[in-house]
């Protein structure tokens, strides 16, 4: 079974894909992403590998839902899912990835987004990474993923609705731009910056050591970046990943979401940004998404975002402090 089912209470699609249950147990000491496995080229720097058990697939039924779904409604999950291999080195943590390879990863994200932008089936390209066993990743091989989704996922819909409401009640002002301006003005939560990007702990961080990266120049998708900006993005991601793994002295379990505007809503107010959502709340404790977070959508943070920003600035490579403008 492979279909999207409508969650009538939350008004969102759930991907039901039973084949994922049957994912084979990999033989010990064997990795399909390693050169010589027969599944990837014998030589590569970065590589796009089609997901063997995709949640969204090009040969799935088209996404063609009833505009007013019934209580029990379903449709097809047509889209695409790829794995992005960051390096041929099996045990290399992303924090040890060379700047050059991060640059190639960003270029690959951009190229795949460009391909999906030409496909009318795709509404949004979600670039992301799950990292660490606490996030359910048992494969150490450094990799991320790209989901080409046939609908705009609910979190992005909420962000779009918030920016519409903000514009309506603030003479057309852009919520993303105003938030970013205020963070730069405050300065206290900035963790790192370069010529094109600023990384900060957001004012209302939900996750421990959460960081957002915003471009200084407002853009909607990866497709708008210049070559120099893509290099800058790779540079600041590399700095943040090093800081994370140096914060507690081990691989930080985290989720990384590279968030882009919907491909087919040029009027929608959105701004490209990267969100890091780590799950380690102290050297020995994990943050679990438990009932209050998952059942009630309310996050509890046990470190002040300003304090966390300070901890992250001190983590190597040390940066800042930054005074507000």
Closest approach of Cβ 233 to Zn ion, in Å? Answer: 25
Q: Which span (84-92, 114-122, 166-174, 258-266) binds Zn ion, by CB under 5 A? A: 84-92
Q: How far is CA 281 from CA 8, 191, 209, 317, in A?
A: 34, 17, 8, 20
Residue 90 touches Zn ion, criterion: CB under 5 A? yes
Q: Which of 2, 116, 141, 143 is catalytic?
A: 143
Residue 34 interacting with Zn ion (CB under 5 A): yes
| Angle, helix 154-169 to helix 175-186, in steps of 10 degrees | 80
For residue 86, the minimal CB distance to Zn ion (Å) is 11
Residue nearest to Zn ion (CB): 31
As measured in angstroms, the least distance from the Cβ of 34 to Zn ion is 4
* 256 Cβ contact partners less than 8 Å away, ≥ 6 residues apart: 128, 129, 131, 144, 274, 275, 276, 277
Give the residue among 269, 275, 266 at the shortest CA–CA distance from 162: 269
Q: Which stretch binds Zn ion (CB under 5 A): 28-36, 40-48, 229-237, 314-322?
A: 28-36
**CB of 47 or CB of 322, closer to Zn ion:** 47
Q: Which of 318, 267, 297, 301 is nearest to 10 (CA)?
A: 297
Q: Is 141 in the site for Zn ion (CB under 5 A)?
A: yes
| d(C-alpha 62, C-alpha 80), whole Å | 12
CB under 5 A: which stretch of 69-77, 116-124, 136-144, 149-157 binds Zn ion? 136-144
7 is catalytic: no
**DSSP-assigned letter for residue 136:** T
Query: Does 2 interact with Zn ion (rule: CB under 5 A)?
Result: no
Tell me if 268 contacts Zn ion by CB under 5 A: no
What stretch of H or E contains 278? strand 273-278
How many residues of this chain interact with Zn ion, rule: CB under 5 A? 5
89 binds Zn ion (CB under 5 A): no
For Zn ion, give the closer residue by CB, 90 or 178: 90
Q: How many CA atoms lie within 13 A of 308 on its CB side?
A: 23
> Residue 83 CB, nearest distance to Zn ion (Å)?
11
Q: Among 31, 137, 167, 186, which residue sits at the site for Zn ion (rule: CB under 5 A)?
A: 31
| Residue of 6, 33, 214, 225 that binds Zn ion (CB under 5 A) | 33
Angle at 130 between CA 17 and CA 312, to 5 degrees: 155
DSSP of 141-198: S-EEEEEEESS--HHHHHHHHHHHHHHHHTTT--HHHHHHHHHHHH-TTEEEE-SSEE
CB of 25 to Zn ion, least distance (A): 16
Binding residues (CB under 5 A) for Zn ion: these are 31, 33-34, 90, 141
Active site residues: 143
């Amino acid at each position: 079974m492979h279909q999207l089912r409508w969650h009538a209470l939350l008004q969102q699609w759930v991907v039901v894909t039973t084949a994922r249950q049957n994912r084979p147990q990999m033989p010990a000491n064997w990795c399909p992403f390693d050169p010589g496995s027969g599944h990837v080229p014998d030589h590569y720097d970065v590589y796009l590998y089609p997901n063997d058990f995709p949640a969204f697939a090009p040969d799935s039924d088209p996404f063609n839902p009833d505009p007013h779904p019934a209580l029990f409604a379903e449709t097809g999950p047509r889209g695409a899912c790829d794995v992005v291999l960051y390096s041929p080195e099996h045990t290399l943590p992303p924090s040890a990835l060379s700047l050059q390879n991060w640059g190639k990863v960003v270029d690959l994200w951009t190229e795949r987004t460009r391909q999906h932008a030409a496909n009318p089936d795709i509404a949004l390209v979600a670039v992301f990474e799950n990292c660490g066993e606490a996030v359910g990743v048992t494969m150490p091989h450094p990799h991320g993923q790209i989901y080409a989704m046939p609908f705009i996922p609910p979190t992005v819909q909420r962000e779009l609705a918030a920016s519409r409401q903000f514009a309506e009640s603030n003479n057309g002002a852009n919520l993303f731009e105003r938030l970013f301006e205020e963070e730069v003005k405050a300065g206290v939560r900035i963790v790192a910056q370069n010529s094109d990007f600023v990384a900060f702990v957001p004012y209302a961080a939900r996750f421990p050591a959460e960081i957002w990266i915003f471009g200084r120049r407002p853009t909607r998708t990866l497709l708008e970046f210049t070559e120099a900006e893509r290099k800058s993005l790779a540079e600041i991601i590399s700095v943040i990943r090093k800081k994370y793994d140096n914060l507690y002295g081990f691989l930080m379990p985290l989720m990384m979401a590279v968030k882009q505007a919907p491909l087919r809503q040029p009027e929608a107010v959105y701004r490209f940004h990267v969100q890091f959502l780590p799950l380690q709340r102290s050297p020995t404790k994990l943050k679990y998404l438990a009932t209050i977070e998952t059942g009630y959508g309310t996050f509890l943070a046990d470190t002040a975002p300003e304090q966390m920003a300070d901890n992250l600035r001190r983590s190597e490579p040390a940066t800042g402090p930054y005074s507000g403008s």
